[in-house]
A and B are shown apart, each in its own frame.
Chain A
Amino acid sequence: MTLKISDVSVGQELPALDLAFTRSDLVAYANASGDQNPIHQDEAFAKSVGLPDVIAHGMLTMGRAIRVVTDWAGDPTAVIDYSVRMTRPVVVPKTVEGSVVSFTGKVAQINEDGTVQVELGAVFGDVKVLGLARATVRLAQ
């Protein structure tokens, strides 16, 4: 289903997503993105540089957060800009469940040109892992 601009109102909340981050996700993302920094895979290395454990790639968190928007809009090519601040890392223990991040979104503004600005949230436990996260989408009329 493709969302239309007439379906959207300011303040509207987008369907939220809870997504697990596991060690195997981090390996898959490292291989797919080319970012093989050992802080994302090697527990001993991560601890040696002062981290509590292996942490997820900030760009993996960014890549997953936009799913709140693209699942809602239907068409991922509707996204015309997207920005985040990576405020805190997602720490990923070596467990089957991994770490669950809750992603949310809310319509912040409908612009004069008909594009829609969405504010995104990403929380791990009670820690905000993304700040200033926003995307603009161009929806069908």
Chain B
Amino acid sequence: MNHDMIGHVYPPSKPYLVTSENISAFVKALGDSNPAYADGTVAPPTFPIVVTMNAMDAAFHDPALQLDYSRLVHSDQKFEYIRPIRVGDELTVSASVEEIKPLGTNEIATFKTDVFSGDELVVTGWSKIVVRGPEA
């Protein structure tokens, strides 16, 4: 990967409108029967991945990053919540390259994803990826 990209901030992603259908489909896929989700107004803690993963995909395919997508594994994920995501939120993601470093023959990179609803920061995600080096 291109270490010059450390600190690079990608342009905000296209707005994503959170609907009760999106929330309910996500909750159903998790198999989560918590009554808090029954009316489809509040999203579960890992729901932000729906928008952060898309924003990172755009970054992963940026030729300037020189990342071999076929050798990429998502290894760590973290979220810090300012407030829960709710139906009606219009989410945009600002993704940035926080860290790129070697780990043996592999490389690891951390992407920070700030998720906004309008101008309000609602959750920050960090995704660590491992890009496997050439086989020995």
Contacts and interface: CB of A to CB of B under 8 A. Distances in A.
Interface of A: 19, 25, 28-29, 31-35, 58-60, 62-64, 66-67, 70-71, 74-77, 79-86, 132, 135
A76 B44 contact: yes
A33 B42 contact: no
Given A81-B79, A84-B77, A64 B34 contact: no
Interface size of B as a range:
20 to 34
Contacts of B103: none
A62 B84 contact: no
Interface string B1-36: 000000000000000000000100110111110101
Interface in B29-50: 29-32, 34, 36-37, 42, 44-46, 49-50
Given A80-B81, A83-B79, A86-B77, 11 more contacts: A19-B31, A25-B29, A31-B25, A31-B29, A32-B25, A32-B26, A60-B30, A71-B34, A79-B81, A132-B76, A135-B45
A64 B45 contact: no
Interface of B: 22, 25-26, 28-32, 34, 36-37, 42, 44-46, 49-50, 53-54, 74-81, 83-84, 126
Contact of A76 (B42, B54, B78, B79): B42
Determine the main DSSP class of B at the interface with A.
mixed
Nearest to A66: B45
28 contacts: A28-B28, A28-B29, A29-B29, A29-B30, A32-B22, A32-B29, A33-B49, A34-B50, A35-B53, A58-B74, A63-B46, A70-B32, A75-B36, A76-B45, A76-B84, A79-B45, A79-B81, A80-B81, A81-B80, A82-B46, A82-B79, A82-B81, A83-B78, A83-B79, A84-B76, A85-B76, A86-B75, A132-B76
